[in-house]
A and B are shown apart, each in its own frame.
Chain A
Amino acid sequence: MNEVVESDVVDAGRRRVLAGMLTAYTASLIPWALAAPVASLNEGTFLALSAILVGQTALDAELGGRLHAALMTESPRFDADAQALLKLIDSEHVDPARLQATLDASHSPLAPLPRQIMRAWCLGLVGEGEAARCIAYENALNAVVVAEVLKPPTYAYGPYGSWSKPPPAKGDGGP
């Protein structure tokens, strides 16, 4: 679980702290975040960055705390890098759709960070290779996003034969 350092806890000022981290640009990407509780400045940064990357209007704050703790364990520079990346997105007004290409083109040392955060939220995974850990499965975002159509593998879809019916929902958009 996420370790919350008491002195870092922002109680009444939670919203103001997070709001203070964001410019109008980043706030426009994550209007939800202004109302979200955060336990610390670093966690607030992580959640804001997460919201921009995953494009979600509601993130599970408890899971966020666990993912943040795991990512910090993985890299002592994580919080500093996350703040730098959020600042970059803010100052350069980087569109999330072009973020990775922008970082790759400039050979930024921050280039691995978006994928680490995406892997954490969307696959529930932190760390690579033998050090990889699964933090979330059925509540990882890739399961949540399709939850009205699919169950994560190992979870029963439904009574025998229920899968013969047409899928219940329509996907939207296109590549």
Chain B
Amino acid sequence: MTTSTSADIVVVGSGICGALAAYRLAQQGLSVLILEAGPRIDRARVVAAFRNSPRKSDWMSPYPFSPWAPQPDYSPKDNGYLIQAGPYRYPAEYIRVVGGTTWHWAAQAWRLVPSDVRIKTLYDVGVDWPMAYDELDAWYQQAEEILGVAGADNTGSPRKHPFPMQPVAEPWSMRRFRERLAPAYPVVANTVARNSRSYDGRPACVGNNSCQPICPVNAQYLGINAVESAEAAGARVVPNAVVYRIEPDAKGRIVAVHYYDPNKKSYRAAGKEFILAANGIESPKLLLLSASDRFPNGIANSSGMVGRNLMDHPSSSLTFYADEEVWLGRGPQSPSSINTMRDGAFRSRHAAYRLDFTNISQVLSVTEALIAEGVYGAEFEKQLRWRAARQVNVKNVLEVLPHPENRITLASEKDALGIPKPEAHYSIDDYTRRGADVSKKDFARIAQMMGGTGLRYSPDGQFANNQHITGTLGMGDDPAKFVTDRFGRTHDHENLFCCGTGVMPTAATMNSTLTAVALALRTADHMHPPSRGKSSSAAGAEPSP
């Protein structure tokens, strides 16, 4: 077996961004090699693993980590992979398998709002993006057509062309929120990569209510769909290939990456161009790992900014009982939200946010609560039905500003292959905390309008993490301040590009995947512009009925 291989393009990471960049480049006739640290997995086995899991509220439980490609795992005990340097704990989650973390996403496929890319100019906070919102429209549209995005025009994100699909049918529970909160709070359908009709050979949603951790029927687009498209276009995927070093030549061009198999046998993959798409934690880790005499700070790190400006979306929340039966759990998990606080002059003072309603079945959490309370006998069934019918939740999704001291570094501890683990340095600033304080008033008003009782706020100052790992490879024009340029090319290495949420200079208030996919397609097309006449939109998408 050879220990070296080569391709025109070598992509590190097989998540949705790396796979779609690979797909686009393979369509151009280039040879593309995708290296994935983790194994291939099978949808049906993930479904079975969830059903058999003793931890059904832990969406990582059906995705056990591989010893050679560990991922942060906190339950039933912390596997100690992501080292916490503090001061605020950052329990990031991601999945190192072929297809990446969107195996268990909620398929939230949001565009930014135009002001999101100009918050320095408009509000004197954060940084501006090196592009205008309008420049992204065409790439957003292509991303939406590939993913199959369903949505409506009332969320605050302008667009030039229609959504590929109508919004997914509104669950009864969300209808009741919409009707009762109007006109104070407009409740709108979320923009999702979930089928409201058959699309691109995949079926419409049938309401399995397990979007996280797994859609059993392929009604929501996942990274594995992107991998399959890339393979169909000619890309080759090597699973269980743990890249541990990026090799430059004397001029600073990247010539190869080196990877281990699970037995720590080393391989070399040479290429003409390289795409790093291993998420906002693993990508900077790999750049830092590749330090050498020539590049003592690591690859692409002459600015010292690799790993810095780590961002995510913290959430606080309110759980309560509505005064009517809404029965969360019928239909998809995350259907509706309030978008009016995504932008405004207030952003000079506090974080913008989106207000999100869950439609996740409450049966599990209610059962756990009743057992914890010792509610037994006939009262158990009575209470289970009453609470499961009425328990609801609203949470904020808060913007976090880029701060250089929030960062990923290399830990002194090493994993099973001897590769240093990533270390998270993280804090949540007063700007974000003020946003949480303001949203708490919305929570109270929403509960009041729903006749809420049994109000349970998440503890002040404590936030749940949304696993929207952003920053660490930020785009910008100034090579002294940013890792990548406006097209995702590293400032230091002309043939090394970054794709993924890491390149986003700010986090805004929206789930970051669609923006990262749009940027990844833009990067791929910048590397090799599609030849005239070749389709650059959805692969085999069915025409609208």
Q: Contact between B51 and A149 (Cβ–Cβ < 8 Å)?
A: no
Q: Contact between A115 and B386 (Cβ–Cβ < 8 Å)?
A: no
Q: Contact between A122 and B204 (Cβ–Cβ < 8 Å)?
A: no
Q: Mark A119-132, 1 if CB is under 8 A from B, else 0.
A: 10011010101101
Tell me the minimal C-beta distance from B188 to chain A in angstroms: 16
Q: Contact between B171 and A154 (Cβ–Cβ < 8 Å)?
A: no
Q: Which residues of B contact A132 (CB under 8 A)?
A: 54-55, 76
Q: Contact between B330 and A100 (Cβ–Cβ < 8 Å)?
A: no
Q: How far is the CA of A130 from the CA of B58 in the complex (A)?
A: 13
**Residue B214 CB within 8 A of the other chain:** yes
**Residue picked from B50, B325, B377, most chain A C-beta under 10 Å:** B377
Q: Contact between A171 and B389 (Cβ–Cβ < 8 Å)?
A: yes
Q: How far is the CA of A122 from the CA of B210 in the complex (A)?
A: 20
Q: Contact between B331 and A157 (Cβ–Cβ < 8 Å)?
A: yes
Q: Contact between B208 and A154 (Cβ–Cβ < 8 Å)?
A: yes
Tell me the minimal C-beta distance from B62 to chain A in angstroms: 10
Which segment of B124-132, B349-357, B367-375, B427-435 sits at the interface?
B367-375
Q: How far is the CA of A162 from the CA of B316 in the complex (A)?
A: 31
Q: Per a CB cutoff under 8 Å, which of B51, B327, B371, B373 touches A167?
A: B327
Complex interface residues of chain A between 124 and 174 (CB less than 8 A to chain B): 125, 127, 129-130, 132-134, 137-138, 142-143, 145-146, 149-167, 170-174
Q: Which residues of B contact A38 (CB under 8 A)?
A: none
Q: Per a CB cutoff under 8 Å, which of A99, A146, A162 touches B207?
A: A162
Q: Mark A100-130, 1 if CB is under 8 A from B, else 0.
A: 1100100000000011001100110101011
**Residue B379 CB within 8 A of the other chain:** yes
- What is the total of A-B residue contacts with beta carbons within 8 Å? 177
Q: Contact between A114 and B374 (Cβ–Cβ < 8 Å)?
A: yes
Q: Contact between B169 and A119 (Cβ–Cβ < 8 Å)?
A: no
Q: Contact between A151 and B209 (Cβ–Cβ < 8 Å)?
A: yes
Q: Given A137-B51, A157-B209, A164-B170, A149 and B386 touching (CB < 8 A)?
A: no
Q: Per a CB cutoff under 8 Å, which of A142, A152, A157 touches B330?
A: A157
Q: Given A145-B384, A145-B385, A171-B325, A158 and B54 touching (CB < 8 A)?
A: no
Q: Contact between A137 and B363 (Cβ–Cβ < 8 Å)?
A: no
Q: Which residues of B contact A125 (CB under 8 A)?
A: 54
Residue of A nearest to B367 (CB): A142
Q: Given A160-B206, A170-B325, A173-B386, A145 and B52 touching (CB < 8 A)?
A: no
Q: Which residues of A contact B77 (CB under 8 A)?
A: 129-130
Q: Which residues of B contact A96 (CB under 8 A)?
A: 376-379
Residue of A nearest to B335 (CB): A163
**Residue B388 CB within 8 A of the other chain:** yes
**Residue B489 CB within 8 A of the other chain:** no
Q: Contact between A154 and B385 (Cβ–Cβ < 8 Å)?
A: no
Residue of A nearest to B359 (CB): A163
Q: How far is the CA of A122 from the CA of B47 in the complex (A)?
A: 21
Q: Which residues of A contact B51 (CB under 8 A)?
A: 134, 137-138, 154
Q: How far is the CA of A153 from the CA of B380 in the complex (A)?
A: 21
Q: How far is the CA of A163 from the CA of B175 in the complex (A)?
A: 11
Q: Contact between B204 and A160 (Cβ–Cβ < 8 Å)?
A: yes
Q: How far is the CA of A143 from the CA of B170 in the complex (A)?
A: 23
Q: How far is the CA of A166 from the CA of B389 in the complex (A)?
A: 12
Q: Contact between B214 and A123 (Cβ–Cβ < 8 Å)?
A: no
Q: Which residues of A contact B47 (CB under 8 A)?
A: 154
Q: Contact between A142 and B331 (Cβ–Cβ < 8 Å)?
A: no
Q: Which residues of B contact A17 (CB under 8 A)?
A: none
Q: How far is the CA of A153 from the CA of B322 in the complex (A)?
A: 22
Tell me the minimal C-beta distance from A63 to chain B in angstroms: 15
Q: Per a CB cutoff under 8 Å, which of A56, A134, A152 touches B53?
A: A134
Q: How far is the CA of A95 from the CA of B53 in the complex (A)?
A: 33
Q: Given A146-B388, A160-B196, A97 and B379 touching (CB < 8 A)?
A: yes
**Residue A20 CB within 8 A of the other chain:** no
Q: How far is the CA of A114 from the CA of B207 in the complex (A)?
A: 34
Q: Per a CB cutoff under 8 Å, which of B210, B381, B383 touches A154?
A: B210
Q: How far is the CA of A173 from the CA of B325 in the complex (A)?
A: 12
Q: Contact between B376 and A99 (Cβ–Cβ < 8 Å)?
A: yes
Q: How far is the CA of A100 from the CA of B371 in the complex (A)?
A: 10
Q: Contact between B329 and A153 (Cβ–Cβ < 8 Å)?
A: yes
Q: Given A118-B371, A156-B207, A163 and B169 touching (CB < 8 A)?
A: yes
Q: Which residues of B contact A175 (CB under 8 A)?
A: 321, 383, 386-387, 454
Q: How far is the CA of A165 from the CA of B366 in the complex (A)?
A: 23
Q: Which residues of A contact B321 (CB under 8 A)?
A: 175
Complex interface residues of chain A between 61 and 76 (CB less than 8 A to chain B): none
Q: Which residues of B contact A100 (CB under 8 A)?
A: 373-374, 376
Tell me the minimal C-beta distance from A71 to chain B in angstroms: 14
Q: How far is the CA of A154 from the CA of B52 in the complex (A)?
A: 12
**Residue B382 CB within 8 A of the other chain:** yes
Sample of 20 more A-B contacts, CB < 8 Å, known A138-B51, A153-B56: A53-B380, A54-B380, A96-B377, A99-B377, A114-B374, A119-B371, A127-B54, A129-B77, A132-B76, A137-B52, A145-B385, A150-B363, A153-B210, A153-B329, A164-B331, A167-B327, A171-B385, A172-B382, A175-B383, A175-B454
* 5 closest A-B pairs by CB: A100-B374, A96-B377, A157-B207, A163-B331, A132-B54
Show the binding face of A for B, using Cβ within 8 Å.
29, 52-56, 95-97, 99-101, 104, 114-115, 118-119, 122-123, 125, 127, 129-130, 132-134, 137-138, 142-143, 145-146, 149-167, 170-175
19 contacts between A and B (CB under 8 A): A96-B379, A99-B374, A100-B373, A115-B371, A118-B376, A127-B54, A132-B76, A134-B51, A134-B54, A137-B51, A142-B384, A150-B363, A153-B208, A154-B47, A157-B208, A164-B170, A164-B175, A167-B330, A171-B385
